Structure 1
Amino acid sequence: MSHDLLVIGGGAAGLAAVRTAVARGARPLLVTDGPPGGDCTFTGCVPSKTLIEAAERGEGFDSAVRRMRDAVARIAAGEDEAALAAEGVDVLRGRAVFRSPGEVEVEGRVVSAERVVIATGSEPLIPPVPGLDGLDHLTNETVFDLAEPPRSLVVLGGGPIGCELAQAFARFGADVTVVEAGERLLSHEDPEASRVVADRFTAEGVAVRTGAAVARARPVPGGSRLEFDTGASVVADRVLVAVGRSPVTAGLGLDAAGVATDEHGAIRTDPRMATTSRRGSYAAGDVTGRPAFTHAADAMGRIAAANALRRGRGRARFDDAEVPRVTFTSPEVAQVGLTEAEAARTHSDARVAYLPMSEVDRAVTAGRTDGFVKIIAVRRTWTGNLGGGRVLGATIVGERAGELVHEIALALRIGMFTGRLAQTMHAYPTHAIAVQQAAAQFFGGYGGRRARTVRAPGDPDTGTDR
């Protein structure tokens, strides 16, 4: 049987690509060396968020694991070969290797394709720490296989994955230490967001060591020891490595396909998700080195398939700046568009509205007032600050931050004035009303607060939003 589109990789990007192809009347072939669903379903979003939710509710670890496995099975059932076949997708299990730009070999079978979408995802990055390979360390691909929580756990990496799992396992009773080489947790987020999370960790008994470069690792009786370049060390039953992800491109035969990668092994693509080195080849998801989120991979997969199947130059484009991100700690940290520090570098006349959750009635009634809403806007070319200016981005920290950020994502995508956010009626008392109240600061103030000029980290505080 001939196919209109070959998709390599069965994760979020690959599934989105084949489903888009079917919706356009095409016949796709999905090649995957694991069960469809990929990292998100089996070792990423689904198990981690289920475990985090269970820990938040105070469930025991046994109960949490059962619920996690049930959730994985339920979601995987909608993505397996039978489900995809019913949708019109052919699935071929095995590892794909390019033999030429138009030929792929899968377990001895050669498949020809004029148009290809590569969506092989990413894998845990293991840092070159001497001795680390000799430890029985955990990653996000193995941590969910634990039958019981470790008595003590060192999390190597203070990014989103490390912070989420550190807090969850601490709530299951483990003695947890987070080790981060940078100066703060969540280094890509607003510094105040990092402080809120660090303060919550301290309150919950999670030890945090920042600015801690690991010099070597070694096994010790009953566990592992990480030694820092300062001479200090930390010992724990288990070590979880969560320092990032790397694209899966090795062994694909990309040279034979004429597809180029960058210095990190990511496939180079343009905004249409076309590879920059070969016409007719596209890539989507983590393998491109673009934002490594399931929702971003889904969008890239749809764009790649649509453009691959469209005759002539494809029109759909992916914009990295519009990707919202959420760290599912408690409180959650959500971001879309520019942070204040980024805005200060590129738009020195931008303004920022700041509202602490302690002044949001719904947060007060829930007794969860950690966090804040920060909205950034800039003058428009011809209208200046009319309408409050155009939304550039937002940082939201709070118990519902991951839900609140999407209103800002929409505003960013359509170039909305902050005035529209301030004028839109929000139900009271909700967490979302914090967005409206913050946006009102661009118009003379709200609750004694008014928008101020953006500041870069370290800039003197020359004014207040009060």
Structure 2
Amino acid sequence: MPLTSLAALPARVPPRGADDAERLDNVSPAGWRSPPPRPVYELLVIGAGPAGLMAARAAAALGVHVALVERHQLGGVSLNDGCIPSKSLIRTGRLLADMRNAVNFGALAPAEFGFDFPAAMRRMRRITARISRTDSAMNLAREGIHLFFGTARFSGADTVDVDGLPLRFRKALIATGSRSALPDIPGLAEAGFLTNETVFDLQVLPHSLLVIGGGPLGCELAQAFARFGSRTLISHSEPLFLPREERDAAQMVSDALARDGVEIHLNSTVTKVWMEGGHKVVELVSDGNTATTRVDDILTGIGRMPAVLGLNLEAAGVAYDAVAGIHVDDFLRTSNPRIYAAGDVCLAHQYTNTAQASARIVVRNALFFGRQRMSTLTIPWCTYTDPEVAHVGLYVKEARQRRIPVKTFTVPMHDVNRAIADGEDDGFVKIHVREGTDKILGATIVARHAGEMINSISLAMAAGIGLGTLANAMHAYPTQGEGIRQAADAYLRSRLATPWSALARRWLRR
């Protein structure tokens, strides 16, 4: 689907109650007074999202003179418009789904139970306000970080202008993150739409909602709003959701959305939007067939683009493009050796944990002559649908493209005792090893708690622990993580078919 420019930076929304006022006071305090600037900063960080905050705090803790520049809100998308608010609403949706399924657990749910959407949004704001305290402007100042609110533009190879205030640096980190990408659909802008930057400002639950895009954000919020009671539709231009994930995992997500009542339109493109009778009318084309539907709101979730515009990178000699973002080497250096980049602005993996890990690399490499490579990281990620889809390492397709022989061990969750007892037996554990060894190449887990389960495999890969060793490690019983041990046991059983095992059996039977 063709894209237009990035979504406009949202204006500061008036506080929605005391909790939202507290969050805004923490992340964007009114009347903030910038400190007198130093003649030169050892590290200047542009962008106070997960990467920028991690780098600034880590460097300041080591006694480095740090300047941190943020033009909108501390915490970035993750705190204010992404991970934290979305997961709080997803948790509410999961509770509603469990209540509707209570009879299967022997509980007598009321015939009618209400849902208070404004109350769920207030809970979300309480959570974001609480978490915002950690990285508040006042806390950063107490740690010795010079915090400047404003728009940063490079004015030279070692200087930045922040709304007319010049700041010099020895090393700089660009961590401006990413912004919502908007589809180029005639009439969409005129009809109005939601993005992740505005959907959490809703005060009234939409009676009907169309989600454009079947990536992680689109699938997560489509399921949540369907569970809230909205008539929810999702349109995706490809034949399966989550196009990066394995087909069986993507199909399970599709099945889960359908069970929750989401109206699914795969291989479909939104070609036109217009207003009619107070509703948004959407034209959908699939396999040459055209259909229309009427909805109250439209949420675009087609992806994100690096936030590089307006930085005047040319003045600093930093190479970039609008799609891939800032060009960096494996040490996260840009074409200007004084300047590094981290997080969504330069990486293909746009996740909070990746942003934070890349920021740690920058602190080591830029300030302490480190030589850590980004390519050495083991990066897990998770889509928080129900069931969740978590992955780490290589997919089978990627391994074969690299001519790496692969053997896969799969355990369905309906063979895991705790998953059966919990009534959460949809999904599987799938672990890939290099054939002939127990070296773990990658894994995909589809389960209700897949995001928690993938961490043990990520740890094993980072520590060089093989699948055979995981089989010998004791796991608490019963847990859903037993699925990982069962996959490891399957690996050990496969070793019994080797010639050496056959010799051992003959020796035992002598």
Which of the numbers 138, 153, 176 marks the counterpart of 1:97? 153
| Aligned equivalent of 1:144 | 200
Other-structure match for 1:444 = 493
Q: 1:176 aligns with which of 232, 236, 249?
A: 232
- CA distance in structure 1 between the partners assigned to 2:412 and 2:293 by the alignment: 35
What does the per-residue CA deviation read over 1:72-111, in whole Å, with 9 as the maximum and x for residues that have no partner? 1111111121010112211000000111111111111111
Whether the 8 Å CA contact 1:344–1:350 is kept in 2: the answer is: yes
Shift of 1:269: 0.8
Amino acid at match of 1:266: G
Contact preservation (8 Å) 2:153, 2:160: yes
- Deviation readout 1:386-433 (Å, 9 max, x if unpaired): xxx210000000011000101111122233221011111101100111
Number of the residue aligned with 1:242: 301
Paired residue type of 2:364: A
User: In the alignment, is the contact (CA less than 8 A) between 2:61 and 2:143 conserved in 1?
Assistant: no
| 1:48 to 2:82 alignment | no
SS in 2 for 1:224: strand
Letter of the 1:317 counterpart: R
Task: Check the 8 A contact 2:180/2:196 in 1, yes or no.
Answer: yes
In 2, the alpha carbon distance for the partners of 1:316 and 1:23 equals: 20
Give the partner amino acid of 2:405: D
Normalising by the residue count of structure 1, what TM-score does the alignment of the two structures yield? Answer: 0.91
Does 2:464 correspond to 1:415? yes
Determine if the alignment matches structure 1 residue 199 to structure 2 residue 249: no
**Residue in 2 that maps onto 1:457:** none
Displacement of 1:57 in angstroms is 1.4
Structure 2 CA distance for partners of 1:211 and 1:321, relative to 1, 3 Å: farther
Q: How far did residue 347 of structure 1 move?
A: 4.2
Percent identical residues: 41
Using structure 2 for the length normalisation, give the TM-score.
Answer: 0.83
Give the secondary-structure state (helix, strand or coil) at the position aligned to 1:228: strand
Q: Which one is further off, 122-131 or 326-335?
A: 122-131
Alignment of 1:30-45 (within 5 A): 30-45=68-83
Between the aligned partners of 1:361 and 1:52, the Cα distance in structure 2 is 26
Structural mapping, 1:68-83, within 5 Å: 68-83=124-139
Matched ranges for 1:341-352 at <5 A: 341-347=397-403, 349-352=405-408
8 Å contact from structure 2 (residues 306, 322) kept in 1: no
Q: CA RMSD in A?
A: 1.7
The total of aligned residue pairs comes to 438
Secondary structure class of the residue paired with 1:114: strand
In the alignment, what sits opposite 2:211? 155
Name the residue aligned to 1:460. none
Q: 1:320 to 1:167 in 2, by over 3 A?
A: farther
Q: CA deviation at 1:343?
A: 2.7
2:392 corresponds to 1:336: yes
Task: Quickly say closer, same or farther: Cα 1:144–1:340, change in 2 above 3 A.
Answer: same
Within 1, Cα distance between the matches of 2:292 and 2:311?
Answer: 40
* Bigger CA radius of gyration: 2
For the Cα contact (< 8 Å) 2:308–2:322, is it kept in 1? no
* 2:458 paired with 1:399: no
Q: Aligned partners of 2:59, 2:358: CA distance in 1, in Å?
A: 13
Task: Report the Cα distance in structure 2 between the residues aligned to 1:291 and 1:268, rounded to whole angstroms.
Answer: 14
**In structure 2, C-alpha distance between the alignment counterparts of 1:225 and 1:238, rounded to whole Å:** 10
Kindly indicate whether residue 333 of structure 2 is the aligned counterpart of residue 274 of structure 1: yes
For residue 424 of structure 1, what is the aligned residue in structure 2?
473
Correspondence for 2:46 among 1, 4, 8: 8
Asked if the contact 2:208/2:296 (under 8 Å) is kept, the reply is yes
> What is the rounded CA distance, in whole Å, between the counterparts of 2:125 and 2:350 in structure 1?
24
Q: Which amino acid aligns with 2:293?
A: V
Structure 1: unaligned runs, 5 residues or longer: 451-466
Partner of 1:257: 316
- Displacement after TM superposition at 1:231 (Å): 1.4
SS class of match (2:69): strand
Q: Is the 8 A contact 1:249 1:265 kept in 2?
A: no
Residue pair 2:380, 2:392 contacting (<8 A) in 1 also: yes
State the one-letter code of the partner of 2:467.
T
Q: 2:365 is matched with which residue?
A: 307
State the Cα distance separating 1:223 from its structure 2 match: 2.2
- Alpha-carbon separation, structure 1, partners of 2:356 and 2:191: 35
Distance 1:272 1:318 in 2: 6
Deviation at 1:35, TM superposition (A): 2.2
Amino acid corresponding to residue 19 of structure 1 in structure 2: R
Distance 2:237 2:292 in 1: 14
Distance 1:344 1:351 in 2: 11
Question: What corresponds to 2:282 in structure 1?
Answer: 226
How many Å separate the matches in 1 of 2:399 and 2:373? 23
Q: SS of the residue aligned with 1:375?
A: strand
